[in-house]
Structure 1
Amino acid sequence: MPTINIQIFEGRTVEQKRELAKAVTEATCKTLKCDPGAVDIIIHDVKKENWATAGKLWSD
Structure 2
Amino acid sequence: MPIIEVHMFEGRTVDQKRKLVAEMTDAVVKSIGVKPEDVRIILQDMARYDYSIAGKLAIDR
TM-score bracket, shorter-length normalisation: over 0.9
Runs of at least 4 residues off by over 3 Å: none
**Which 5+ residue runs of structure 2 have no aligned equivalent?**
none
Q: 2:23 & 2:55 partners in 1: Cα distance? A: 32
TM-score, normalised relative to structure 1: 0.98
Q: 2:29 & 2:53 partners in 1: Cα distance? A: 31
Equivalence for 1:13: 13
**Which 5+ residue runs of structure 1 have no aligned equivalent?**
none
Matches within 5 A, 1:1-60: 1-60=1-60
2:59 counterpart SS class: coil
Q: 1:14 & 1:21 partners in 2: Cα distance? A: 11
Q: How many residues align?
A: 60
TM-score, normalised relative to structure 2: 0.96
Cα RMSD (Å) of the superposition?
0.4
**Structure 1 counterpart of 2:47, which letter?**
K
